[in-house]
Amino acid sequence: MNAKVFPLIRVACGAAATMCVLFQPAPTAAAQGTTAAGPDATTPLRLTVADVVQRALDNSFRVGEGLAREAAAQASADGRAVAAMPTVSLLGGYTRTNHVDEFAIAAPGVPPRVIYPDVPDNWRARLDVLWPVYTSGRVGALTRAASADAGAAGRDVSTLRADVRLDATRAFWTLAMATETVNVVDQSLKRVESHLHDVQNMRDVGLLAPNDVLSVEARRSRERMLLIEAQNARDVADADLRRVTGVAFGVPIELAPEADAIPDPLPGAPDLVDEARAKRPERQALELRIHAMGDRGDAAAAGRKPTVAVVGGADYARPNVRIFPRAATWNPSFDVGVNVAWNVWDGGRVRAEMAEVAANRRAVEQRLAEFDRVLEVEVRQRRLDLEAARAAVEAATDGLTSATEAHRVVTNRFKAGLVSNTEVLDAQVALMEAHLDRTRATTGVRLALARLERALGR
């Protein structure tokens, strides 16, 4: 057998095994139970690319984690937003003191008046109100920073969704390619078996030597081995798709590939780069984090400015220390005031905090600059990959047409006794290679398109 067949089969079929090794299947029992096609587990579950992507998004643990982090960031932003609102707190307490000698004042002609009685049981209830009416912009800056962080967390979720969509699309087309590879090798095996039957008949009538039969039988054994390899690669790709979608292993899957519209010609690279810069969620998240760093810097700088707060409270105590003379009775009281705080010297704490925020902002700005540089290269590369993949489809189609016709001609000439058995076998190998080239090229176009859309942030 031609030695080139083995690497061709491994390239066409081994992609599924290579990709799936990177991800271990981790579907939960609950997910398996809810993704079955129905009560009849033998009914094939027909899936399009859109179905696979949607199931992947619904079953992705990475997206679930991102949503939880977004909810946490939004909760933090909500907490910052109410920092300027008044706070009300309740306080209650009981204190037991030792007995003391009562202090009384006696006046001529009147009974003694107790000024400081012996009250060992002290009860108190207080309502406190604090309202920061002016914080020199600190609360507002922290609120804006928290809102920007929440927005960045939302963009992170969009990034995870884009990664999951690409992973699901890759898994779909990898399984489609592996399935088609099995069909190609199986058809090739059937052609070899048919040819073996003809060669055996020609040997029986004395037209061919026994070694011709042996060479075809050896080719048939190799084709069977290639079929087993292709089937194993298909099973691995099937397991990878189930990992992505959460479909139970007992449910048969039937793929329904759909042709995606590819613009011809593609927009120019500068236009695509501009689109990617406007739509990529990773870039949007970095921009929001830069804004958040700027707001945190404003909040840190506000630490040098005064703050004003309105405070107040109401007491209901027994005895009430604000009532004179002291008495073992329940009495109310209240207080209202304005507090002004100005940190005139903090040993450099505010300066250090501002320097930290500024350094972190420069770090994110550098990351954004690096992202833009890499993004332009990535978009241009994905565009070139798609153009090359489309050219490969055209070349593979022409090659398949040529190999099919060559196989037909060689087969007819062999039956007429004009060519040798070896030429027929070579034509069969060339036909199988052409089929595999066409399968790889077709899948390559779909994957190249998916990667370009991922790079554009669509």
pTM of the model: 0.78
133 against 23, higher pLDDT: 133
365 has a pLDDT exceeding 50: yes
Is the pLDDT at 453 greater than 60, yes or no?
A: yes
Q: ∠ CA(253), CA(164), CA(265), 5° rounding?
A: 95
> Among 177-181, 323-327, 362-366, 378-382, whose mean pLDDT is lowest?
323-327
- pLDDT of amino acid 74: 93
> Quick check: 34 pLDDT over 90?
no
Q: Angle between the 421-456 and 5-21 helix axes, to the nearest 10 degrees? A: 30
pLDDT at 316: 94
Mean pLDDT of 406-413: 91
DSSP-assigned states of every residue in 166-208: HHHHHHHHHHHHHHHHHHHHHHHHHHHHHHHHHHHHHHHTTSS
pLDDT of residue 347: 86
Q: What is the pLDDT of residue 15?
A: 42
Task: Tell which wins on pLDDT, 455 or 420.
Answer: 455
Whole-angstrom Cα distance, residue 428 to residue 379?
Answer: 40
| pLDDT confidence tier of residue 380, bands split at 50, 70 and 90 | very high
CA angle, 405 then 410 then 416, to 5°: 130
Statement: residue 22 has pLDDT above 60: no
d(CA 336, CA 309): 11
Segment 92-114 mean pLDDT = 87
pLDDT digits (tens, 9 = 90+) for 225-260: 999 999 999 999 999 999 999 999 888 999 987 765
Residue with tokens 């204190």: 95
- Whether the CB-CB separation of 386 and 448 falls below 8 Å is answered with yes
Query: How confident is the model at residue 37, as a pLDDT?
Result: 40
Of 30 and 421, more confident:
421
Domain spans of the chain, in order of start: 5-83+137-303+348-456, 85-134+307-341
CATH of domain 5-83+137-303+348-456: 1.20.1600.10
Q: Is the pLDDT of residue 147 over 80?
A: yes
**With b meaning 16 or more CB within 10 Å and e meaning fewer, what string describes 224-243?**
eebbebbbbbbbbbbbbbbb
Strands 253-255, 45-47: pairing is parallel
CB under 8 Å to 298, separation ≥6 — which residues? 137, 138, 141
> Which residue is it, tokens 């993004």?
375
Spatial contact of 227 and 185, defined as CB atoms under 8 Å apart = yes
Residue 261: the pLDDT is: 59
| pLDDT band of 262, cuts 50, 70, 90 | low
